[in-house]
């Protein structure tokens, strides 16, 4: 009986510890994006943890984080609920210039001893505009247990009750322009029109669509099968044959041709406001996040 009691105590502590870690991870995805350098040498390759929502400050925060570091070809592990469309595009172009490898992971420290390395845990989420950050990687890998979810972009201050809100012609112009910029970015990054089609088919009042393994390949979001995890000392990649980029094939009236002027305002992906909380959404200027 004593042994059974001790086993139950250990199981309860483990369960509570796991729940606490899950709560911290979820909260991290609601907050503005933070970058952490995970030093893993000599046991494995160093990598960057990028957790949180993309805001207007995120590209500048990354530039400050990158100062003095050699980031060419580094692995960036994402765990994010999305965020600002235009700022995610700007950040994604920075990452592509660095030739980074992107993946969907969250860092967890598996041992309690101080100084133990942080390992990657694949039970992470990449939602909405985070998916287009994932697309920015020159090499892209999504673990089996990771969740990649898409939906439409929307006016950030009206995403919580999109059908009841009112919209002006200027609002619609902003949305159309951002869809155009997102389409151009998608093709520039080597993505397929299928990604835009899947995302633009899901309105903000519906649940996000989780991409299947087949859809991850169909959209060109996955370009490698990892022989080992990025945090392992002998990590290698096997390149997959990319799907040819389409000239169109996505839902909506905006075409992915021509040029699109920089909009005066930026919208965000529809799900990010609800994940950031009402107070932050209320503080945002109309049409901006």
Residue at 44 is within a domain? yes
In a domain, 3, yes or no: no
Q: Residue 18 falls within a domain, yes or no?
A: no
Most confidently modeled range among 17-21, 25-29, 164-168, 234-238: 164-168
pLDDT tens for each residue of 233-262: 334 444 555 555 444 333 333 333 232 233
pLDDT at 32 over 90: yes
Report the 10 Å Cβ neighbour count for 176: 15
Q: How confident is the model at residue 161 (pLDDT cuts 50, 70, 90)?
A: confident
Residues 6 or more apart whose Cβ sits within 8 Å of residue 52: 28, 29, 30, 31, 32, 33, 34, 79, 80, 81
pLDDT at residue 1, as a whole number: 38
Residue 166 is part of which domain span?
A: 27-280
**Report for 87-91, 111-115, 203-207: range of highest mean pLDDT:** 87-91
* The token pair that represents 272 in the structure block: 């990010």
Q: Report CA torsion sign: 173, 178, 181, 186.
A: negative
**Taking a C-beta distance cutoff of 8 angstroms, is the pair 21, 108 a contact?**
yes
Q: Please give the full DSSP string across 97-145, using - where no structure is assigned.
A: HHT-EEEE-EEE--S-STTPPPEEES--EEETHHHHHHHT-SEEE--TT
Per-residue pLDDT at 170 exceeds 80: yes
Q: Is residue 58 part of a domain?
A: yes
Report the alpha-carbon distance of residue 108 to residue 119 in Å, rounded: 6
* pLDDT recorded at residue 103: 94
Confirm whether 209 is domain-assigned: yes
Cβ burial, residue 171 (10 Å; 0-12/13-18/19+): middle
Which of 94-108, 159-173, 249-263 has the lowest average pLDDT? 249-263
Q: Could you tell me the strand order of the sheet in which 209-210 lies?
A: 125-127, 147-150, 209-210
**Cis bond before residue 44 (omega within 30° of 0):** no
pLDDT at 12: 32
244's tokens: 């040819």
Examine residue 16 and state whether it is found in any structural domain, yes or no: no
- Would you say residue 289 lies in a domain? no
Q: Which two tokens stand for residue 275?
A: 């994940």
| Number of domains, the chain | 1
Assess if residue 286 is contained within a domain. Answer: no
């Amino acid at each position: 009986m004593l042994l059974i009691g001790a086993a139950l105590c250990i199981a309860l502590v483990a369960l509570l510890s796991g729940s606490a870690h899950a709560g911290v991870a979820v909260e991290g995805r609601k907050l503005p994006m933070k970058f952490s350098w995970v030093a893993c040498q000599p046991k494995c390759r160093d990598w960057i943890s990028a957790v949180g929502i993309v805001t207007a400050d995120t590209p500048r925060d990354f530039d400050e984080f990158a100062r003095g570091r050699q980031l060419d070809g580094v692995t960036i592990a994402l765990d994010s609920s999305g965020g600002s469309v235009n700022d995610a595009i700007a950040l994604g172009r920075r990452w592509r210039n660095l030739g980074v490898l992107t993946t969907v992971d969250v860092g967890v420290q598996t041992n309690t001893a101080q100084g133990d390395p942080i390992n990657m845990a694949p039970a992470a989420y990449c939602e909405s505009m985070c998916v287009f950050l994932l697309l920015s990687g020159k090499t892209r890998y999504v673990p089996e247990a990771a969740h990649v979810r898409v939906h439409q972009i929307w006016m950030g201050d009206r995403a919580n009750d999109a059908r009841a809100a009112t919209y002006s012609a200027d609002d619609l112009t902003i949305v159309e322009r951002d869809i155009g910029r997102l389409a151009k970015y998608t093709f520039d990054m080597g993505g397929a029109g299928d990604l835009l089609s899947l995302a633009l088919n899901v309105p903000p009042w519906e649940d996000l669509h989780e991409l299947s393994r087949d859809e991850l390949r169909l959209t060109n979001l996955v370009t490698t099968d990892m022989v080992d995890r990025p945090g392992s000392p002998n990590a290698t990649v096997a390149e997959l044959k990319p799907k040819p980029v389409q000239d169109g094939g996505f839902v909506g009236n905006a075409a992915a041709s021509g040029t699109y002027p920089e909009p005066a305002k930026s919208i965000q992906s529809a799900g990010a406001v609800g994940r950031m909380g009402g107070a932050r959404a209320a503080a945002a200027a109309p049409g901006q996040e």
